[in-house]
Amino acid sequence: MELPEPKIGSPPRKRRWFQYSLRTLLVVMVLACIGLSSLAVKMQKDRPVLLTTGDDVARYRGHQYRIWVFDEKSHAVGGFSEALLRPRESVRLEPVAGVGMDVQLEGPVRQSISDGTRIVSQYDAVRYVLKHRGGGEEGAASIIWPSLRVHRGIARGYDAVVFSLPVGPKAAESLAAKLPAEFRGARVEIEGVLLACLPEHATLFSEEFLSALYQIIGPTRQSSRWQELMEDPDLRIRAALVLALAGDRDATEVLCQEDRPETLALLPPSARVLERLVSILAQDKPLPCIPFAGCAQPPDRRCYLVPALLRTYPRADLLPYAPKLLRRAEGCDESWAKDLREYFGGRTTVGRP
C-alpha cells in the first residue's frame, strides 16, 4: 500500500493552547526557580536560628551573679559580692553596707527571640529583674550566654559592674573553665572576664558598652593583650577603642581612619578626633541609621551626633569649623541643622581651620 506523498509547502500544524515546546518549558522553569529561590532565601532569613538545645535546658541549674561596686570618683573597688540564683529565687547582693542590688530570676525556662538587624535568633532564657536605688532593669537571661553590664548611680557616689554566667550548659561551663575558680573582687577580674568572653561573644559587647565600662573601672591595665586583639579583624575596632580610651595615640589614629563617627564620639576630646568628626558630619551625603520596623525613612545619624559634638567640645574649639558645618546645614530643616544654626548664631564668617 502506497502512502500519499506529503504536500510540499503545506503550513505546519498549529498546537493546541495546552501544548508548548521544550524550549518554552525550560524558560518557564528557569524563571520559576529564580523567583522561588529569592522567596526561599527570605524565608530562611526570617526563620529563627535556634541557639540552645534540650540538653542545655536539662543541664541548666541557675545563674551565678557577681557584682563589683566602684567609687565613681576614684574608680576604686568599694566591695564585691556573689551568689548563685536558681529560677524562682531572689537574693540581695550588698557589696557595701547599704549599697547593693536585688536580683530575681523568674522561672521556668522559656524560649525567647532576639530580632537583630540581620538575623533572628531563638534561644532558651529565664526572665530576670534587677533593682537598686538608682533604678534597675529587667529582661531575658540566656541559659548559655554570659552577661556583663554596667549600672551608674546605684547609690550616691557608687557605680556597679554586674557579671552573670549560667551554670550547667556545656557552652557556659566551657567559658567558666577560662575564668578564675574563685573571684576575690579585684578590678583586674572584670577585664579578665571581658577578655575571656570577647572572642566568642563579641556581639554582646558594643562599643558604647566598652566606653561605659572603662569610665567606671578606669583605663585598661591589659594594653598588651588589647594590642594582640587588634590583629583580629573582628575585634580590631573594639580593641582600638579600649586603647584609645587609655590615651593610646596610635589606636586613636586607627579609629580616625575609619568612617565610624559613633565610635569617634566616644573618644576623649582631641584636636585630631574633632577634625575627623567634622569632616564626616560635613559630608554632602546623608548618614542614615539602620532601618527598623515601622520607619519609612531612617533618620540621619547627625540627629544625635551633632548634639553630642556640641556637648563634648568647647565653643572655642568648634568656632573654626562653623563655616563648614553651617554650609552643610544650609537649607536643611532637620533638628541637627537647627541645633547648629542656634549654637553658632548663624555666623558664617568665622575663620577656617
Residue 115 has pLDDT above 90, yes or no: no
pLDDT of 39: 63
Banded model confidence at residue 350, pLDDT cuts 50, 70, 90: very low
Which whole number is the average pLDDT over 107-119?
62
pLDDT recorded at residue 164: 96
Kindly indicate the confidence band of residue 194, based on its pLDDT and cuts at 50, 70 and 90: very high
Burial category of 336 from C-beta neighbours within 10 Å (exposed 0-12, middle 13-18, buried 19 and up): buried
What residue type is 331 in one-letter code?
G
CA pair distance 247, 268, nearest whole angstrom: 8
Cell of 193: 572576664
Residue extents of the structural domains in the chain: 46-171, 178-258, 269-353
Q: What span, in angstroms and rounded, lies between the C-alpha atoms of 146 and 165?
A: 5
CA distance 227 to 333: 44
4 confidence band (pLDDT: 50, 70, 90) = low
DSSP state of 146: -
Q: What is the pLDDT of residue 294?
A: 47
What's the per-residue H, E or C state across 283-332?
Answer: CCCCCECCCCCCCCCCCECHHHHHHHHHHHCCHHHHHHHHHHHHHHHCCC
- pLDDT of 183 reads 96
Q: What is the pTM for the complete model shown?
A: 0.79
Of the CA atoms within 13 Å of residue 195, those in its CB half-sphere come to 20
The residue among 163, 162, 242, 146 whose CA lies nearest residue 197 is 146
- String of DSSP letters for 173-192: HHHHTTS-SS----HHHHHH
Average pLDDT over residues 289-318: 80
Among 17-31, 204-218, 277-291, 334-348, where is mean pLDDT lowest?
A: 17-31
Question: Residue 8: its pLDDT value, please?
Answer: 56
**What is the rounded CA–CA span in Å between residue 124 and residue 143?**
6
Residue 286 pLDDT: 86
